[in-house]
Amino acid sequence: MRYLLILTGLMCLVITSPAWAEEPVSGTESTSGDINWEDWDPVEGMIVHTEIYVTDLEAAKEFYGSLFGWEFFDEDDNYSMFMTPGNVGGGITNVAPPGGGGITFYIYTADIDGMLAEIEEAGGTTFMEKTEIPETGYFALFADLDGNIVGLFSM
């Protein structure tokens, strides 16, 4: 797995691509000098970063790490980068976003009902039960430890 970490002031952006680096980048390191930008072919509308706003960073990392297998790379006391098993990354922070709020994104799981039970055992709550998307699959919504609404998706 390869990804580029770009740090600019308080903002951090992770762009994922299997053709870039041998090891994950963390801290203040950057692989920008090693990037072959001609090989990067982003698609219009592609998500390249997701950020989750939380009140307890360590509890949130334990919640997402234990339930979904996410790996975390601490940038400082208030910000960690995460990488999912499918090589999609983002950031998680306990610094409130301008204007407040959170983000909704969807996480794939083969067993929505089973995952909702695990989520509730870990302190989350079901926001919307498993619902069919005709000819597509199923989705459900849950609230994490800080009330952020997150989606689950299955085929």
Report which of 81, 82, 74, 79 is spatially closest to residue 96, judged by C-alpha positions. 79
Q: CATH assignment of 104-155?
A: 3.10.180.10
Model confidence, pTM: 0.59
Position 17 pLDDT exceeds 80: no
39-75 confidence digits (pLDDT tens): 756 544 455 568 898 989 999 999 999 999 999 999 9
Position 15 pLDDT exceeds 60: no
Report the length, in residues, of the chain: 155
Distance in angstroms between the alpha carbons of the first and the last residue of the chain: 25
Residues 17-28 have a mean pLDDT of 36
Task: Say which range, 35-39, 58-62, 114-118, 136-140, has the weakest mean pLDDT.
Answer: 35-39
Nearest-5° Cα angle at 32, 29 to 38: 155
Q: CA dist 20 to 7, 33, 36, 123, 153, Å?
A: 17, 11, 8, 37, 29
Q: Which CATH number fits domain 1-100: 3.30.720.120, 1.10.3720.10, 2.40.50.140, 1.10.1740.10?
A: 3.30.720.120
pLDDT-derived band at 90 (thresholds 50, 70, 90) equals: confident
**Domain ranges in the chain with CATH number 3.30.720.120:** 1-100
C-alpha to C-alpha distance for 98 and 119, rounded to whole angstroms: 28
